[in-house]
A and B are shown apart, each in its own frame.
Chain A
């Protein structure tokens, strides 16, 4: 059954397990490809993870002159093919979320590949399999739909603050409950 990465942002406790797990994925060569940010660094401890969202129409691949960024049949937007990447760094400029990293020494871009060696066989990516607070989850379409219904009151009173993504993505994100206007206030 097809599963997706699903991110419940408000659950994040900032432990950075996902970063550590990312370094251990086969082929990631001890370097993590994801991020965890403090929302309001000097005031609160709230953190949120930022992963590649695996856009359905990825700007990184569209801007690549060498067609080095391939899209896997599972929808994962893969890291640059090593033999094709020419090191122009267009992808790092094009990505609306600032995800791709670039290694100057190796003249090579690298980004989250959704642990394709695992997810192509239905095994959750490293980050989701270690997340202790269920921020990163590996769910089926039905489970994600049920989650989203739970947050959508559709009573005309509560709306999200603003559109928060630039396009359709394979990774699904939900905004913190407080913004969704549910009763989940803390």
Chain B
């Protein structure tokens, strides 16, 4: 009884949800309101808005529109919906922090795919993440600098004076140049990725310009125009700064708008892999499905049933009436042997023997 209650929560008409025509409208309104409130606090009631960066703000709002449109449409697909709803329910597992760090910060699974790809991805990934962590607080005024005393900058975060740094000091140096460092990281990552795309045979066979190259070129363009800005300020006494800052700003805005629709969409969607891992671990601990032929445990009962249901919504049903099982209830070797049985007419899957030599090792 307790389990059924857990699976089908009673729907309470929520007054907040009722105020909106759609999920999209609700998400957009909530996020924009939250950003405005945070800016209001961060900028000390809008007294410290950096209007030089307002293009990025508009870009961010357009990005949010695209992001919610794409994410909500995607989340309506039956298998995605299952992972999202069950993932949210299982978010607070003990292993979640470890899994999150491995999947989203250190990219351990990419390390296992190769050191080259890992280095490339760390450069690109962390270059972009750090850039965003610097840029967006500045855009929304969550962080800004004031100079109360000559030669010393006061760092203000969320309207609170955090620290005072020497304007010529080492800490200030890192503040000024943070985006230069991340730009170099991104450029290294993009160059490694481009080199791989030119050399790797599989990549060459499958890649498309619009899907695989365009995002790399966009990132490269942003990084280079950003570095040129620094170059102009340091070596050219600021000549051409305004034109270049507009070019840079537009390139960022275009990339933000494009982000939810192309290859870069994997950035906001990646936390799903943590959900997927939790889903497998949690239901695997609860009960494992025994193969209907050999009895080996191969997947959680929950997942086996979920897959059967998802295929059902796609009008696919692999129930074998004559043999009395669904194909999703067979472990992989037995399912393959069952197919051989259907090809040959001999019940291969019922012969109790291990599958022989499937690894091409002589």
Given contacts A9-B343, A65-B80, A88-B276, A41 and B307 within 8 Å (CB-CB): no
B343 near A83 with CB under 8 A, answer no
Q: How far is the CA of A162 from the CA of B360 in the complex (A)?
A: 31
Residue of B nearest to A94 (CB): B307
Select B82's contact among A20, A38, A65, A66, beta carbons within 8 Å.
A65
Contacts of A59 in B (CB 8 A): 311, 314, 316, 318
Residues from chain A with a CB closer than 8 A to the CB of B348 are: 37-41
Whether A48 contacts B206 by the Cβ 8 Å rule is no
Shortest beta-carbon distance from A24 to chain B in Å: 9
B130 lies within 8 A of chain A by Cβ: no
Interchain CA distance A31-B333 in the complex, whole Å: 17
| Chain B residues within an 8 Å CB radius of A175 | 343
- Say yes or no for A98: interface residue by CB 8 A criterion: yes
Q: List CB contacts (< 8 Å) of A141-178 with chain B.
A: 161-162, 164, 166-167, 173, 175-176
Interface size on A, residues (CB 8 A): 65
Q: Count of B residues near A, CB < 8 Å?
A: 65
Chain B hits for A173, CB < 8 A:
343
Q: Is the CB of A96 within 8 A of B351?
A: no
Q: Is there an interface contact between B280 and A164, defined as CB atoms closer than 8 Å?
A: no
Docked complex: B99-154 residues within 8 A CB-CB of A: 103, 109-110, 112-113
The reply to whether A89 and B280 form a contact with Cβ atoms under 8 Å apart is yes
Q: With CB as the reference atom, state the residue of chain B lying closest to A82.
A: B113
The verdict on B330 contacting chain A, using a C-beta distance below 8 Å, is: yes
CA distance A117 to B77 in the complex (A): 30
User: A98-B335, A117-B206 given as contacts; is B318 within 8 A of A166 (CB)?
Assistant: yes
Complex CA distance for A93 and B273, rounded to whole angstroms: 17
Partner of B79 from the list A36, A65, A84 (CB cut-off 8 Å) is A65
With contacts A65-B79, A98-B333 known, is A93 near B303, CB below 8 A?
yes
Interchain CB contact under 8 A, B277 and A36: no
Nearest-neighbour CB distance to chain B for A108, whole angstroms, equals: 7
Chain A residue with Cβ nearest B340? A37
Known contacts A62-B310, A87-B273: A39-B346 contact under CB 8 Å: yes
Q: Which of A88-131 contact B (CB under 8 A)?
A: 88-90, 92-99, 103, 105-108, 116-118, 120
Check: B253 CB closer than 8 A to any chain A CB: no
- In the complex, the answer to whether A108 meets B206 with C-beta atoms within 8 Å is no
Per the bound structure, the CA–CA distance linking A66 and B82 in Å amounts to 12
Q: Are A16 and B203 in contact (CB under 8 A)?
A: no
Residue A67 lies at the interface, judged by CB distance under 8 Å to chain B: yes
State the Cβ distance, A154 to closest chain B Cβ, in Å: 20
Contact A63 B358 (CB under 8 A): no
Q: Is the CB of B299 within 8 A of A93?
A: yes
Cα of A107 to Cα of B103 in the assembled complex, Å: 9
Contact assessment for A66 and B269 in the assembled complex, using a CB-CB cutoff below 8 Å = yes
Does chain A have a CB within 8 A of B332?
A: yes
- The residues of B that contact A179 with a CB separation of less than 8 Å are 344-345
* Inter-subunit contact A96/B80 (CB<8 Å): no
Residues of chain A contacted by B359 (CB below 8 angstroms): 19, 31-32
- Say whether A23 faces chain B, with CB atoms less than 8 Å apart: yes
A125 to chain B, nearest CB (A): 12
**From residue 187 to 213 of chain B, which have CB atoms closer than 8 A to chain A?**
200-206
A133 interface residue per 8 A CB criterion: no
Q: A35-B358, A88-B279, A179-B344 are in contact. List 4 more A-B contacts (CB 8 A).
A: A20-B360, A59-B316, A84-B266, A107-B273
Interface CB pairs A-B, < 8 A, 30:
A16-B360, A19-B358, A27-B200, A27-B202, A27-B203, A32-B360, A38-B356, A39-B346, A62-B310, A62-B314, A64-B79, A78-B206, A83-B263, A84-B266, A86-B272, A86-B273, A88-B83, A88-B279, A93-B299, A94-B328, A97-B336, A98-B330, A98-B333, A98-B335, A105-B112, A106-B110, A107-B112, A164-B343, A166-B316, A179-B344
List A residues at the B interface (Cβ < 8 Å): 9, 16, 19-20, 22-23, 26-28, 31-32, 35-42, 46, 48, 50, 57, 59, 62-67, 78, 82-84, 86-90, 92-99, 103, 105-108, 116-118, 120, 161-162, 164, 166-167, 173, 175-176, 179
Q: Which residues of B contact A (CB under 8 A)?
A: 74, 77, 79-80, 82-83, 103, 109-110, 112-113, 200-206, 263, 266, 269-270, 272-273, 275-277, 279-280, 299, 303-304, 306-307, 310-311, 314, 316, 318, 322, 327-328, 330, 332-337, 339-340, 342-346, 348, 351, 353, 355-360
